[in-house]
Amino acid sequence: MPGPLTKPPWWRDALSAGLDLVFPAKCIACYRDLADGQRELSLCSDCETKLELIDWRVCPRCAAPVPSTNGVDLACNRCRGDKLRFDRAIALGSYEGLLRQLVMRTKADRQGVVTRALADLAWQRLREQLLALRIDVVTAVPMHRWRRWQRGANAPQMLARRLAERLEAPCAGEMLRLVRNVPPQVGLSRPARFRNLAGEMAVGASYYLAAARVLIVDDILTTGATCSEAARVLRRAGAADVTVLVLARTPAGG
């Protein structure tokens, strides 16, 4: 006979975790109960206004803020000189403040609650822009196996899957593969970062990309070197147009 102190059966926790996943009732950032109208995003309106979501002029190529003087936009000084192989980059926000905290949480977000909420926010804000691109297939920047194991979550793949559902486009999350171990990028100069990644990725042999318009999804864009290498191999496999979508663009430096 189970006594009064017996733990509830394992499935009860699993069941309530499952229900929370389907109907998350608390804000992912401040954990306050959500009003009915806020449940769709899993984010309360207070927290949403705190997010550094891009509503300023950005470089269409690398999504960095474009400086302007007297109302005239100047050329982007972030990607100048870089050989970026993707056609454009779109970022939901800037990698700072609350958005930075949430993006960092997606890295270990096994259940995908935060990741899905950010994907949905991206869809809400960028829907028109993404639909206009007539994307044929969505993919994700590949992650090293050991890192996936270490973190327990593959945020880029989760994001790609969610956005593909919204776009009603196929998701080929495993299309890009890592073919060699790359030495860490930390401490390398910008040109060295681009060189360091050459030959890192390949497109799986079973994918046929003739003239496809591809969306690559990642969590953060810093130099763009990784996404550029992904775009390079996608083009070599036949892609006609490559867009990069990230949750956050690093604000400066990098």
Q: How far is the CB of 223 from Zn ion (least distance, A)?
A: 11
Closer residue to Zn ion (CB): 76 or 233: 76
Closest CB 47 distance from Zn ion, rounded Å:
3
Per the listing, tokens 């306050």 go with: 32
61 or 193, CB closer to Zn ion? Answer: 61
Is the distance from CB of 138 to CB of 123 less than 8 angstroms? no
Determine, following the binding rule CB under 5 A, whether residue 61 of this chain makes contact with Zn ion. Answer: yes
Tell me whether residue 30 or residue 131 sits nearer to Zn ion (CB atom): 30
- Closest by Cα among 82, 84, 80 to 227: 84
- Which residue number, 28 or 167, has a Cβ lying nearer to Zn ion? 28
76 binds Zn ion (CB under 5 A): yes
In angstroms and rounded to an integer, the radius of gyration of the C-alpha atoms of the chain is: 20
In angstroms, the CA 130 to CA 254 distance is 26
Please count the residues of this chain forming the interface with Zn ion, following the rule CB under 5 A: 12
- Which residue from 34, 41, 79, 90 is in contact with Zn ion, where contact means CB under 5 A? 79
**Choice between 27 and 233, CB closer to Zn ion:** 27
Q: Are 204 and 177 in contact (CB under 8 A)?
A: yes
Per CB under 5 A, which of residues 17..56 are in contact with Zn ion?
A: 27, 29-30, 44, 47
Q: Which stretch binds Zn ion (CB under 5 A): 8-16, 75-83, 207-215, 240-248?
A: 75-83
Q: CB of 226 within 8 A of CB of 218?
A: yes
Q: What six digits make up the tokens of 251?
A: 């604000």
Torsion of CA 156, 160, 162, 166, to 10 degrees: 150
Note whether 115 and 158 are within 8 A (CB). Answer: yes
Distance CA 101, CA 93 (A): 12
- Using the contact rule CB under 5 A, the part of the chain among 70-78, 137-145, 174-182, 192-200 near Zn ion is 70-78
- Regarding 59 and contact with Zn ion (CB under 5 A), the answer is yes
Please select the residue that binds Zn ion; options are 62, 164, 231, 234, rule is CB under 5 A.
Answer: 62
32 vs 134, beta carbon nearer Zn ion: 32
Q: Could you give the count of Cα atoms lying within 13 Å of 123 in the half-sphere of its Cβ?
A: 18
74 touches Zn ion (CB under 5 A) = no
CB of 66 to Zn ion, least distance (A): 8
CA 214 – CA 206 distance, rounded (Å)? 16
Residues that bind Zn ion (CB under 5 A): 27, 29-30, 44, 47, 59, 61-62, 64, 76, 78-79
